[in-house]
Structure 1
Amino acid sequence: MQRFIMKSKDYIMVLCGILIVVGLIAEFVFKVQLISEILLGLASILAVSPILIQGYHSLRVKVISIDVLVSVAVLGALLIRNFEEAAIVSFLFLLGAFLEKRTLKKTRSAVQSLVTLVPERAVVVRDDGKTETVDIDDVSTNDILLVKTGDKVPVDGHVVYGSGALNEASITGESKWVQKSLNDKVYAGTIVENGTIRIQTETVGEDTLFGKIIELVEEAQDSKSAAEKFIDRFSKYYTPFVLLLAVIVGILTRDVALAITILVLGCPGALVIGVPVSNVTGIGNGAKHGVLLKGSEMINDFSKVDTIVFDKTGTLTEGNPTVAYKKIIGENKQSILSYLYSIEHESNHPLAKAILNDIGSQKIVRFDKVDVIKGKGIVAYSGDKKIILGNLSLMHNYDVEINNNNREKINKLIESGQSIVLMAINKELEVMIGIQDQLRHDVKRNLLQLKHQGVKKLIILSGDNQGTVDRVAEQLPIDIALGGMLPEDKAEYIKMLQDKGEKVAFVGDGINDSPSLATANIGIAMGGGTDVAIETSDVVLMHSAMEQLSYAHGLTKKISNNMKQNIIIALGVVLVLLLSLIFAEWMNMTIGMLVHEVSIIVVILNGMRLMRYRNNTKLDSYQVNNKQKAI
């Protein structure tokens, strides 16, 4: 019976509304008091039944909820034969719950719209070349799938045939088309806007990047922020206090109607719902624009960040460097290039990729042993050869001889802002390479935006040489720029800032900077869609764009402010209602419940404003073009 009543709660609400309208017509139009009381009494009993069930289940777990207060108030009104107020109060409570459910459903629309982007069926290409449409659950790893223009990619995988332009907005928040061809990675939930491709499946369903994004966003929306936890504790004591206050007032005044009215006016409904709706809506907005806020707890911390620390390569710069200078010193050029290619071929560092793109494919050398020197380079052994590949500091550590001419050239490259990669064989310098990287598009404007939003200090900590770091910092509104920093040095520096009382966010690529991401109050990964970035950080910028950083910071500030607004609205309404009960003769149970339900709708609508948030603050051209660093 309980299950039937709860399942039919919306229908009960509609029926009660009809009974109330007919009952009021019977009383005020036809002056038939008996019929009016019967209809309003029946409406009260029907409407209070689901409320009583919810209140009963709350008491079973030793919680005095809002349902308990309303149940006691309605039953009390029935006892004193105040059928009109009993019916209207219970109906308004059910109506408020219905509207709350509907509007809250809308706040999750960003995530729900993402879920619909994953197709339920896929076209599999069989070994004989024929195609077959199957359920997505029947697709396995290594299956070849056909995706045509207008179709959604159903799995994570790589292109094995064809080419096409894909819309990756579901992953990155950026609707700009990305051209994909042989061996390029593609993700579930993206759309082939033009072209036809065949994909070899790597992961399906919840294991895809898109599946992980949806799971993370849903977990974040369901998590409780510090404000919500406080409100839960507050309600735990506040609601019994209201019940006790009503009992005491009833005993002292012998006015049951007054005691019942206090129960209704003291309901903290808007307070309970106001903060969660801000969190859910804000996190959903972020997901829609390629920003993953991993949990409600970090929102308040991020909004209070006053210092942001940046890695350089792949964060402030594009992360697609190119070789600007190359000199092969040794005589056996082919052998030297083979060693260089073989070592860099095993690395995923952006500088290694730049070198490989420049020298092209070379003969592979098998090494007897390879040692990675963290933050400096690699030492490899092949027979009687000891190959040292890395930065200038690594050359010094292994006593590599560098003559005056080469040292002068290296210094000039550093002064011009180039990253230096050197290779020595048996302590003899054989290769000198200078690599340049470009600043990200509009990075200066977005750093100024962060300053405008209240961030006081912007810092670069880079493993690159100081000259290169200085050249980057000179072009940006950076306060401190430090080069030659190992991963552990960065983490230690962040700890030092925290000891001084600063709230620190660290922005890195999520691969080489895990210690810093973990140490900072907020770890932010320029994700590029990598699993490592998603796992190690508090915030993931899926498009790896600097404008997403200023957007994410502005969004968390808006969410935090929105929570505070909803708390003020909720507490203000309760205070005004209770004061009105003391100083105004017109206040009664029905008006109190109506105001409460309106306040619930107000805080929900206020929270839903976050769905429309855009970071639209305009900085004038003088600010962008003339703001200089202060190191």
Structure 2
Amino acid sequence: MKTWKTWGVVAASGVLIVLALVTGWDILMIAAAVVAGWPIAVSAWQALRIKMISIDLLVVVAAVGALFIQNYWESAAVTFLFALGKALEKATLNRTRKALSDLVEAAPDTATVLRDGEPETVEIWELVPGDVVLVKNGEQVPVDGRVITGNGGVDEATITGESVPAEKSEGSEVYAGTWLRSGVLRVEAVGIGSDSTLAKIIHRVEDAQDDKAKTQTFMEKFSKYYTPGVMLAALAVGLLSWNVELALTLLVIGCPGALVISIPVSIVAGIGRSAKDGVLIKGGEYLETSAKVDAIVVDKTGTLTNGRPELTDVDVLDDSYTAEEVLILAARAETASEHPLAEAIIQGAEGRGLRVDHVEHAEPVAGKGIRAQVDGATVAVGSADLLDSAPDPARILELNEQGKTAMFVGVDGKAVGIVAVADTIRADAPEAIKALHGRGVKVIMATGDAERVARNVAAELGVDEVRAELMPEDKLTIVKELQAQGHTVAMVGDGVNDTPALAQADIGVAMGAAGSPAAIETADIALMADRLPRLPHALGLARRTVRTMRVNIAIALLTVALLLAGVLFGGVTMSLGMLVHEASVLLVIGIAMLLLRPTLKEEKDRDAKRQQINDNAKEQKAVA
């Protein structure tokens, strides 16, 4: 039923009740019961057609029974309160789905495409992959694509939950539904409409919010037998006591409305909140399982570390050289190298503001390093075998023990310095590990790297256990071992080499899933941003959601118990019972809606920033 019809029925019934109380005409009270009760009766009939005894049937039987015993006020009050409760319930449930509606509204309708070099505004469906779209400052990015030209800051909050705009330049990926906050971009369209990352997120959240948790499935089975059980109990009481009003009152107070709604509304709110924070949880079952996670197996490379080598140390062995001079010599020699570590040295030098000119003459030495002619001198970068005399290896060994790859820098056969590179720890990894420990979660680092490298990283991060020099199947064994010990295990990996372990784990987690449709569709939890602290945040939100479900179930059961006691000891009428029943329904919905409050710091900052922008705009409008 449409919203205006729902509230129209409630308003009409309410007006008739007021007129009946003023005039004393019973016919108006009967009319009020019919107006409010008719849609309830239709709903009850539709349920019966599929062999289901619904809560609506309890209300209809109670209302009709009250009319037969000429208790018109009770009949009108029960149907009116039930209709009012349904309308409020529908309105508040719509609010819990706001995170999804916000995503849907974020989808752009039009785009400015360049045709023959001229901008033209077209509908999204008119675009094809390969089209070049123009995005100006303040406009929405209409497609998933790659930046061809231009620079700018893009607000990707709708996709990743990040509050700080991401800098984009040539070659960068952008996503439909995000906003360009500075600059101008030309973007080659790759994903359009339903093929965009935003569309896949919306699809995933829709499915997830409808997916049922195990507790919800149990409660639905319970209510399937509970509702007819209430009808039989009320019939038995009526026959034994010959008190029809008592039997009808039992029908009303036995309605399991709050019990049935307590779990799905919590799941909708929890998954909606997580989606707004850039965390996609596949469904209610995975939300419930995530709340139990007490052990996490984390791949090292690219998860706890940056996944690429960076310059870490520059040591001077000859006092006639400075650290900058040693680094420039090494970087210039490496410009002729194709070794993976060469780029780390070059970028390290440029990152320190040093100019790195390319060399023309160089000679790579297989397995040892490289020799190059730099300003008339022969510069070698690599092992001691490239030098005329063997220098003291103590410092090299020390750096190697720290998990770093260290190389001598020599000039004309003499060692003048040492440079070292390593895969460095992510800046946000220590914070994430600390947060996981704060939630009582055991963290196991699993990696194929050498033992000494793994132990140095583990010591710096403070993980609980280290497993090194592993093959992908070894990670699967670790997950099985933890599960055999009674742990609920989450596995965080890249989804390729770690596929067996991810499949075995109770919860598989994909990081940086934005732009990866496979990760969005297959992971139990997908962290849209490449931010490890989102994992403890997601687990914390899952635990809050499950706690909310339990609180709501307790409220629902307590309400029924108190009403039953009130009926047995006198004082609870049909209308009062329905009023308390509907109040309990709204209470559990209201408690579930508390999950929609932002708890992620970036989300709070973003909301505050948006509020400030809105306030400034209102002030400027008022002045104008």
The TM-score with structure 1 as length reference comes to 0.80
Structure 1 residues 185-204: aligned runs within 5 Å: 185-204=173-192
Which residue does 1:561 correspond to in 2? 547
State the percentage of identical aligned residues. 43
What's the offset of the Cα at 1:307? 0.9
Q: Kindly provide the amino acid, as one letter, of the partner of residue 479 in structure 2.
A: I
Whole-Å separation in 1 of the counterparts to 2:419 and 2:42: 75
What's the offset of the Cα at 1:613? 4.5
Which residue does 1:129 correspond to in 2? 117
Which residue does 1:322 correspond to in 2? 310
User: Can you list the C-alpha shifts for 1:209-233, whole angstroms capped at 9, x where unaligned?
Assistant: 1111111111111111111101100
Give ranges in structure 1 of 5+ residues lacking alignment: 28-34, 327-335, 345-350, 363-386, 390-401, 422-431, 617-631
Whole-Å separation in 1 of the counterparts to 2:343 and 2:518: 19
Which residue does 1:394 correspond to in 2? none
Change (3 A) 1:243 1:354: farther
Change (3 A) 1:449 1:596: same
Q: Does 1:231 align with 2:228?
A: no
What's the offset of the Cα at 1:9? 3.4
Q: Kindly provide the amino acid, as one letter, of the partner of residue 587 in structure 1.
A: V
Q: Does 1:208 align with 2:205?
A: no
Structure 1 residues 90-489: aligned runs within 5 Å: 90-126=79-115, 128-322=116-310, 412-418=398-404, 435-455=421-441, 457-489=442-474
Q: Kindly provide the amino acid, as one letter, of the partner of residue 108 in structure 2.
A: P
Give ranges in structure 2 of 5+ residues lacking alignment: 315-333, 350-355, 359-365, 369-383, 408-417, 602-624
Whole-Å separation in 1 of the counterparts to 2:186 and 2:485: 55
Q: Kindly provide the amino acid, as one letter, of the partner of residue 577 in structure 1.
A: L
User: Can you list the C-alpha shifts for 1:147-175, whole angstroms capped at 9, x where unaligned?
Assistant: 00000101000011211111111111111
Contact persistence 2:111–2:124 (CA under 8 A):
yes
What's the offset of the Cα at 1:442? 3.9
Which residue does 2:499 correspond to in 1? 514
Change (3 A) 1:354 1:523: farther
What's the offset of the Cα at 1:440? 2.1
Which residue does 2:72 correspond to in 1? 83
Whole-Å separation in 1 of the counterparts to 2:344 and 2:484: 38
Whole-Å separation in 1 of the counterparts to 2:221 and 2:149: 58
Change (3 A) 1:95 1:142: same
Q: Kindly provide the amino acid, as one letter, of the partner of residue 30 in structure 2.
A: G
Whole-Å separation in 2 of the counterparts to 1:91 and 1:337: 81
Change (3 A) 1:168 1:338: same
SS in 1 for 2:166: strand
What's the offset of the Cα at 1:544? 1.8
Which residue does 1:504 correspond to in 2? 489
Whole-Å separation in 1 of the counterparts to 2:69 and 2:264: 37
Q: Kindly provide the amino acid, as one letter, of the partner of residue 108 in structure 1.
A: R
SS in 2 for 1:201: strand
Whole-Å separation in 2 of the counterparts to 1:105 and 1:536: 28
User: Can you list the C-alpha shifts for 1:534-579, whole angstroms capped at 9, x where unaligned?
Assistant: 2342111111212211211110110010000000001110111011
Whole-Å separation in 1 of the counterparts to 2:294 and 2:561: 35
Q: Kindly provide the amino acid, as one letter, of the partner of residue 576 in structure 1.
A: L
Q: Kindly provide the amino acid, as one letter, of the partner of residue 482 in structure 1.
A: R
Q: Kindly provide the amino acid, as one letter, of the partner of residue 567 in structure 1.
A: I
Change (3 A) 1:9 1:171: closer
Whole-Å separation in 1 of the counterparts to 2:226 and 2:367: 69
Whole-Å separation in 2 of the counterparts to 1:388 and 1:489: 30
Contact persistence 1:554–1:615 (CA under 8 A):
no
What's the offset of the Cα at 1:510? 3.0
Change (3 A) 1:354 1:155: farther
What's the offset of the Cα at 1:68? 0.7
Which residue does 1:18 correspond to in 2? 15
What's the offset of the Cα at 1:503? 1.1
Whole-Å separation in 2 of the counterparts to 1:226 and 1:534: 22
Which residue does 2:580 correspond to in 1? 595
Whole-Å separation in 1 of the counterparts to 2:195 and 2:227: 43
Q: Kindly provide the amino acid, as one letter, of the partner of residue 118 in structure 1.
A: A
Aligned length: 541
What's the offset of the Cα at 1:411? 5.6
SS in 1 for 2:117: coil
What's the offset of the Cα at 1:531? 2.9
Contact persistence 1:318–1:437 (CA under 8 A):
yes
Whole-Å separation in 2 of the counterparts to 1:267 and 1:176: 48
What's the offset of the Cα at 1:433? 11
User: Can you list the C-alpha shifts for 1:299-355, whole angstroms capped at 9, x where unaligned?
Assistant: 1211111111111111112334325699xxxxxxxxx999957xx7xxxxxx89869
SS in 1 for 2:424: coil
SS in 2 for 1:319: strand
What's the offset of the Cα at 1:91? 0.5
What's the offset of the Cα at 1:511? 3.6
Which residue does 2:35 correspond to in 1? 46
What's the offset of the Cα at 1:445? 3.0
Q: Does 1:57 align with 2:57?
A: no
Whole-Å separation in 2 of the counterparts to 1:435 and 1:533: 31
Contact persistence 2:511–2:526 (CA under 8 A):
yes
Give me the CA root mean square deviation: 3.1
Change (3 A) 1:353 1:76: farther
Q: Kindly provide the amino acid, as one letter, of the partner of residue 133 in structure 1.
A: T
SS in 2 for 1:438: strand
SS in 1 for 2:533: helix
Contact persistence 1:118–1:153 (CA under 8 A):
no
Task: Select 1:605's aligned residue among 581, 586, 590.
Answer: 590
Q: Kindly provide the amino acid, as one letter, of the partner of residue 600 in structure 1.
A: V
Which residue does 2:529 correspond to in 1? 543
User: Can you list the C-alpha shifts for 1:361-407, whole angstroms capped at 9, x where unaligned?
Assistant: x9xxxxxxxxxxxxxxxxxxxxxxxx999xxxxxxxxxxxx999899
Whole-Å separation in 2 of the counterparts to 1:575 and 1:240: 18
Whole-Å separation in 1 of the counterparts to 2:464 and 2:85: 51
SS in 2 for 1:454: coil
Which residue does 1:493 correspond to in 2? 478
Q: Does 1:575 align with 2:558?
A: no
Whole-Å separation in 2 of the counterparts to 1:80 and 1:477: 73
Contact persistence 1:507–1:526 (CA under 8 A):
yes
SS in 1 for 2:530: coil
SS in 1 for 2:199: helix
Q: Kindly provide the amino acid, as one letter, of the partner of residue 595 in structure 2.
A: L
Contact persistence 2:311–2:345 (CA under 8 A):
yes
SS in 1 for 2:260: helix
What's the offset of the Cα at 1:41? 0.5
